[in-house]
Amino acid sequence: MLSGIHPILAGDLLAALDRLGHGDEIAVVDANFPAHRVAATGGPSTGASLVELPGLEAPAVVRAIRTVIPLDEYEAESALLMAGEGGERLPVQHELVDAADAPEHRVGELERFAFYARAEGAGLVVRTGETRVYANLIIRKGVIHAPDSWEAAR
C-alpha cells in the first residue's frame, strides 16, 4: 500500500502508468471492448499492455488515473470518446469526460472502428467491468513538471 496513491492504482496498473511517457495514450474501455485483440494487435512493437479491472466502472478508473496523469496540452484533443450511435453522447460518456476533467473543446470522438484502430496504438489498454455501452475513452498523457520541492532538494 502506498500513501497518497488512489487505491485503484495498484500493482500492474500503477507500473504500466509509470512506464508511459508524454504523448502516450491510455485506452480505458468497457467490458464489451475487444481489449485482448486490440492490445495483441498493438503488441510488443508498441509496448502496449493490458490491465484488467473487472470489478470497476470506467469513470472511476479514469478518475483514478487522472490523479497521477495530466492531460496533454500540446495537441488539439487530449481525450477521445468512442462515438455512440445517433450522434448524441450517452450519460456514461458525459461521466467519462467529467472524470477525465477534460475541457469540452479538447474532447474528440471517433466512430467505433476508428476507435479500435486508435486503441491499437495505445501504450496501455485498461479493460474495466463497465457494462454500459460506448463507455470507452482514450486519454493522452501530458508532461509532468517537476514540483518546486524537487528543485529545493537539489
In a domain, 6, yes or no: no
CATH code, domain carrying 23: 3.40.1650.10
In a domain, 4, yes or no: no
Predicted pLDDT at 54: 96
Q: What range does the domain containing 74 cover?
A: 11-143
Give the model confidence (pLDDT) of 132-146 as tens digits.
999 999 999 999 887
- What total number of domains does the chain contain? 1
In a domain, 63, yes or no: yes
| 101 annotated active-site | no
In a domain, 154, yes or no: no
| 116 annotated active-site | yes
Look at phi and psi of residue 141 and say left if phi exceeds 0, alpha if psi is from -120 to 50, else beta: beta
- The CA-based angle 11-79-54, given to 5 degrees, is 35
Q: How far apart are alpha carbons 109 and 24 in whole angstroms? A: 18
Predicted pLDDT at 16: 94
Which of the residues 94, 116, 145, 148 is marked catalytic?
Answer: 116
Q: Which residues contact 53 (CB under 8 A, 6 or more apart)?
A: 8, 13, 61, 126, 127, 128, 129
In a domain, 153, yes or no: no
For the segment 22-38, the average pLDDT, to the nearest whole number, is: 96
In a domain, 61, yes or no: yes
Which of the residues 24, 30, 72, 134 is marked catalytic?
Answer: 72
In a domain, 1, yes or no: no
For the segment 82-95, the average pLDDT, to the nearest whole number, is: 94
| 98 annotated active-site | no
Give the model confidence (pLDDT) of 13-24 as tens digits.
999 999 999 999
In a domain, 103, yes or no: yes
